[in-house]
Amino acid sequence: MEAAAIYPKLSAIENDIKNLKLLILQHKKPGKIVSLKGMLKGVKINEEDFSEAKRSLFKI
């Protein structure tokens, strides 16, 4: 198969992929927003918890 014959086919495939991406993005529904309010109700957080979290995040 010659290179000149491949380019139009590749271009058509590229256009098909772009169209599929657009179709998927148009039909994608946003997810449900979940409230985190009250998730930590009754939880006691102290200075030691903050220090531990900082050490785990920043590797101090």
In a domain, 34, yes or no: no
**pTM of the predicted structure, to 2 decimals:** 0.42
Whether 13 has a pLDDT exceeding 60, the answer reads yes
* pLDDT tens digits for range 14-58: 999 999 999 888 887 777 888 888 888 888 889 999 888 888 888
Q: Per the structure, how many domains does the chain have? A: 1
pLDDT value, residue 5: 81
C-beta separation of 60 from 54 below 8 A: yes
Closest CA to 19 of 11, 31, 8: 11
C-beta separation of 47 from 41 below 8 A: no
In a domain, 56, yes or no: no
pLDDT value, residue 18: 95
In a domain, 53, yes or no: no
